[in-house]
Chain A
Amino acid sequence: MQKDTTPSIHIMRSQLGRARGLGAAKHGAAHWWAERLTAAALLPLSLYFVLSVLLLKGAGRAAMAAYMGEPWNAVLFLLLIFAMFYHLSMGLQAVIEDYVRKDAKRIAVLMLVKAGIWFLGLAAAVSVLKLAVS
């Protein structure tokens, strides 16, 4: 008897779920995109930061305040802070998920690192705003 070679699907998953290809988590590409977008944003922003550091080298506090008092500088620093800490958060998460194996420890380390990143990011942003309006 001829063997039936007609393609057919022998899986429990619905064909719609299979076509969407999102797996059990229902999402997946968002973090990948966010990491690349922040990376792309950080290319000009980090060059701007390097330039700012060279301009502000050895500057006193008054010069810092004057620099941040320029709206463009304050805005670029805020963008830098946002993109940098967002990118850092995702990068450190990937590293932690790779190397910290025990579930409880991994979740604890992730929460601590994310809390620290929120704290640092907000502290940096508030400082820029304070310098900008002082």
Chain B
Amino acid sequence: MKDVREALMVGRNSEGKLVRRPLSPHLQVYKPQISSATSIFHRITGVALGAGAVLFTAWLVCAAAGDSAFSVIQAIFASWIGLIVLFGFTLALFYHFCNGIRHLAWDAGKGFELPDMHRSGRLVIGATLVLTVAFWLIAFLVG
């Protein structure tokens, strides 16, 4: 059986000949906007946090497994590559956290006006940067 979306792509032209319908322009023709950018970054950071969940689990499993396993994972996290990866995950976490609040507000029917939506988008980006920098400052300077 033909995929229904494939089947709908076929039409007849004015001469009655079967043709594939033309596609409308896709994402690349649009200027990036804060609305589309914050939306796709919500997805990207969500998927990235899925990879972060693997590291989160590795951290807990190594702690449960024993001293040698835990010292290995702690050394990996403390290495340069480990710190860069962890930095990326904090950025993704704080972004998904802040933009998630924005999504929950939309689900409650609030903040749909365009100026509000643009302002909350900028607020999310700013808050993400502030929270990420604050986290790493505390991590390095305190204790």
Interface residues of A (CB under 8 A from B): 36, 39-40, 42-43, 46, 50, 54, 57-58, 60-61, 64-65, 68, 77, 84-85, 88, 91-92, 95, 101, 120-121, 123-124, 126-128, 130-131, 134
11 contacts between A and B (CB under 8 A): A36-B107, A39-B103, A42-B97, A43-B100, A43-B101, A61-B67, A64-B70, A88-B46, A91-B46, A121-B57, A124-B61
B63 touches A61 (CB 8 A): yes
**Interface of chain B: mostly helix, strand, loop or mixed:** helix
B60 touches A124 (CB 8 A): yes
Report the number of A-B residue pairs with Cβ-Cβ less than 8 Å. Answer: 79
Q: Which size bracket describes the interface of B in this complex? A: 20 to 34
8 A Cβ contacts from B10-39 to A: none
Mark contacts of B44-60 with chain A using CB atoms, 8 A cut-off: 1 yes-contact digit, 0 otherwise: 00110110011011001
Closest residue of chain B to A125 (Cβ to Cβ) is B60
**Interface of chain A: mostly helix, strand, loop or mixed:** helix
B138 touches A92 (CB 8 A): no
Closest residue of chain B to A89 (Cβ to Cβ) is B50
Mark contacts of B116-140 with chain A using CB atoms, 8 A cut-off: 1 yes-contact digit, 0 otherwise: 0000000000000000000100110
A131 to B103: give the CA distance in the assembly, Å: 35
A131 touches B63 (CB 8 A): yes
B70 touches A61 (CB 8 A): yes
- Chain A neighbourhood of B61, CB < 8 A: 123-124, 127
A69 to B130: give the CA distance in the assembly, Å: 33
A115 to B20: give the CA distance in the assembly, Å: 39
